[in-house]
Structure 1
């Protein structure tokens, strides 16, 4: 009996939960010890050029952090004895550095295949957010915490021993590009001769950083509730406050346009009111919000409201501004903006863009404002409707789909305001595209992530909120510096030499306010001849020859119509 009592006493001393607080959280001292050890680990790693837990500039800034608040700290709730937790990421799950990479494949529909195995389970999850004021995604530090691990075993796994038989294991994204991959392109790197030409290869590119807060679930919990919470620690950044729900009820069930059930109680987007015959209008589509309730903050609603107010001041009608924000339970901005649709309606977003772009003379200025979380490849995350923590095809909006929806758009000009992280992939594809001759991308050039100001809003949204109806886009853009415009291949720069509603900037004599509102802002009635000629051009089959007599009559009508059309265009332009 005595040996058994001694064994139980030794086990109780080694049990790490002895320091755990009462309730469902770890003690602040324990979490602070983990966070301090993680920061020391980042500083001791000397911030490698590639392959680290963070990009080198952010790693160096975090390693030099001696004054001011540190990163925001997130930790999972303690699980029951014998239970483990798992971290699920929207674009995969975390893995240990140096683990065998997952070779991404594609199925018959072209969607990426997901790993068949399950993510590894640990005792606790620790996440450090170095830039809590930036939009998601941006690089984060994720550590697995294992209990009952001896110092020798912890160090043999290239992990960090923090005492008390606790081991911190750094994690990286498992579904990412191979860090040793070399891609042809410009830049520094060694040269090789291939087929008689010199080919330069880029240095290795590491895209394995974790960019989103994971959804931490208990492996034995069938409900898969979020167990990751922010902790306010002394010396670290305060926890951000999520946007409160507009109603106490749970989020409405996921409803798409291809479903017709009792759960789809909400009226769908009235697309038929967007375009009318013999009328052209200014249209706008706003997509904002977070990926989940935990990462949807009041600043997202503030950015959306600022941009909406700017559009209304520039003459955009309320019924022609379609806003898609978070989920139904978080659309608190509807009090000031009217009808705001949830971002879960991806098909409604794409259908509306297709209607505006494919209809003749429907849109004069088409404005898009994007403030959703973005992955490193530019994919927008709309909303985790099924709450599984993984971005399914209906919950993400890739760049390829966005450019396909705006391809050869019939609008006079398409202005895309990008207020989110990682604008580089969209910039690269737009510059190489020849199918977007009237599209301009306006983005930030300061950092890779969109940051917030002292007032809590986005610096990008606050800057463009000051655009006045008589201001030229080019004049408002150039004097500041941190914003830039990206044009598609063959796109004229004159698209920015107008106001947001399309009014000329340097007309002689200058336009008055009443004339600007009547001729350019809101909606204008178009001559009937524009529609007749446009319909004839769209419906005529160029491969089918006309009879001789009919061809003569059609030629005469077109010649007469072209002369009248030139006159009408001249009047309409001036």
Structure 2
């Protein structure tokens, strides 16, 4: 009877799928549906919500054994001797063992019949880099910004106890062996004290079928697996960048024209300017809360006088992130794939005399443990190349000896304290103030720093006062680092702290917000310079 029902369902589904061009998937959908039904009937206490890691991909049904594997991985972590682990520090290991799994997310890739999987990281190779039957990932800190610690497990389904033990794995029965995958070259205990973040895996790996030239991501997040929590909210918008369409590669293969970012510097005025950078790397790490962060910071700047053309936004793979605001706002929004455009724009603002009064730079990207921001994986190979990253040294080089009167860097990303440490000791960043969400080895949590600045009262408070208000309220230990003496001595739009209480709201808006006319002598000097350059 069951066979007849299955055959009937196959016929019906095949007819439906023909209309949608999906015949090749019908068998897999039928088999997965029956597996899901058998799981539900065998374990009434376990709920597995069918979900997907990317909103643009079709729903993926979980393997019926996922709950068993996730529980085994959790038990494996709790059984570890934290004094001998090398994938993180002893204190972090002990913290993991005390966490409630309901706060964690679980991801799975595979298993696929006759196909094995390969895992790739953006910032380095993996130990046991051979292919596996399945890859399982536990994200213990879904509310922290990437890169934060994630635990990657390999699953091999046709092995025995002795072979599993020789691989330093954990045998969980029925020929299944689970192992923790570590970064390559991190098993040397000599590096444990100096490189605990260096040895952590801080990003979700790209897991693809062995031999797949397209390197399609197979890793999926599944909600409410056993005692694990719900998946993050992923973006629903559509990316509009095109590979190889950078400033230096304008070819017929590009679907979009090259987007030149024009710095608005007029010879008779000086303005407040802002640059908002939120890379994202891929659709699993660039989530809906990153969209809300950018829109929140943008709205805050607009409310305090920053003109639309003077706020340039570089977000993930989408140049339409501000389309909901209005068309004029969105006109100055670009994909973060254009690294050259980001650097050229910041350098231009810093190079032109009397162009910028206050330059606000907001950073909200996934970050490697050396402070390098991940922009976007434009070639989808999972490995971060030079054109897909913005290093801390490149950023600091772009703003050194900047001719803006003041630069406020709001860095709500992991390991942002590295920027603060550099600014303090630098002699070329006297007008720079860095507001970091945490220390050099700390993660950024819950977008806390972003919303402290978005919701602050900037018309009555200077930037150092805002920092003092939130310094004791955040999960990580935030930092304010001044490149020079008393550099944090104004509001975010440049009004001076010492006279701020004596101005009316009208006077503040008229004299300090947005753009101000330069004195006549400066206008004449710049006019003569402009004429000389043209001649």
Give the TM-score taking structure 1 as reference length.
Answer: 0.75
Say whether the 8 Å CA contact 2:417–2:438 is kept in structure 1.
Answer: no
Structure 2: distance between partners of 1:153 and 1:20: 33
Among candidates 393, 400, 403, match of residue 396 of structure 2: 403
What corresponds to 2:3 in structure 1?
A: none
What corresponds to 1:466 in structure 2?
A: 455
SS at match of 2:334: coil
Relative distance call for 1:412 and 1:162 in structure 2 (3 A) is same
Q: Which moved more, 1:407-416 or 1:265-274?
A: 265-274
Q: How much has 1:35 moved relative to structure 2?
A: 1.9
SS at match of 1:479: helix
Among candidates 118, 126, 134, match of residue 94 of structure 1: 126
Say whether the 8 Å CA contact 2:463–2:488 is kept in structure 1.
Answer: yes
Aligned length: 466
Relative distance call for 1:295 and 1:181 in structure 2 (3 A) is closer
Among candidates 475, 481, 485, match of residue 480 of structure 2: 485
Structure 2: distance between partners of 1:171 and 1:62: 16
Q: How much has 1:535 moved relative to structure 2?
A: 9.7
SS at match of 1:79: coil
Give the TM-score taking structure 2 as reference length.
Answer: 0.81
What corresponds to 2:506 in structure 1?
A: 514
Say whether the 8 Å CA contact 1:289–1:300 is kept in structure 2.
Answer: no
Pair 1:451-2:445 in alignment: yes
Deviations 1:489-520 (A, max 9, x none): xx112x22211111112318711222212221
Q: How much has 1:474 moved relative to structure 2?
A: 1.6
Say whether the 8 Å CA contact 1:474–1:497 is kept in structure 2.
Answer: yes
What corresponds to 2:42 in structure 1?
A: none
Q: How much has 1:164 moved relative to structure 2?
A: 0.9
What corresponds to 2:350 in structure 1?
A: 357
SS at match of 1:86: strand
Pair 1:54-2:85 in alignment: no
Structure 1: distance between partners of 2:500 and 2:465: 18
Say whether the 8 Å CA contact 1:147–1:167 is kept in structure 2.
Answer: yes
Say whether the 8 Å CA contact 2:279–2:373 is kept in structure 1.
Answer: no
Q: How much has 1:166 moved relative to structure 2?
A: 0.9
The 5 A counterparts of 1:35-54 are: 35-48=70-83, 51-54=85-88
The 5 A counterparts of 1:30-179 are: 30-48=65-83, 51-65=85-99, 67=100, 69-81=102-114, 83-96=115-128, 119-174=129-184, 179=189
What corresponds to 1:380 in structure 2?
A: 373
Pair 1:497-2:489 in alignment: yes
Relative distance call for 1:176 and 1:414 in structure 2 (3 A) is farther
Larger radius of gyration: 1
The 5 A counterparts of 1:262-301 are: 262-301=252-291
Among candidates 516, 520, 528, match of residue 524 of structure 1: 516
Structure 1: distance between partners of 2:186 and 2:459: 45
Deviations 1:368-395 (A, max 9, x none): 0000100111100001111111111110
What corresponds to 1:6 in structure 2?
A: none
SS at match of 1:92: coil
Q: Unmatched 5+ residue regions in structure 1? A: 1-17, 97-118, 183-202, 453-457, 539-574
What corresponds to 1:455 in structure 2?
A: none
Structure 2: distance between partners of 1:423 and 1:450: 8
Relative distance call for 1:333 and 1:176 in structure 2 (3 A) is farther
Structure 2: distance between partners of 1:401 and 1:391: 16
Say whether the 8 Å CA contact 2:417–2:436 is kept in structure 1.
Answer: no
Q: Unmatched 5+ residue regions in structure 2? A: 1-30, 37-59, 473-477, 531-535
Say whether the 8 Å CA contact 1:54–1:141 is kept in structure 2.
Answer: no
Q: How much has 1:91 moved relative to structure 2?
A: 0.8
Pair 1:258-2:227 in alignment: no
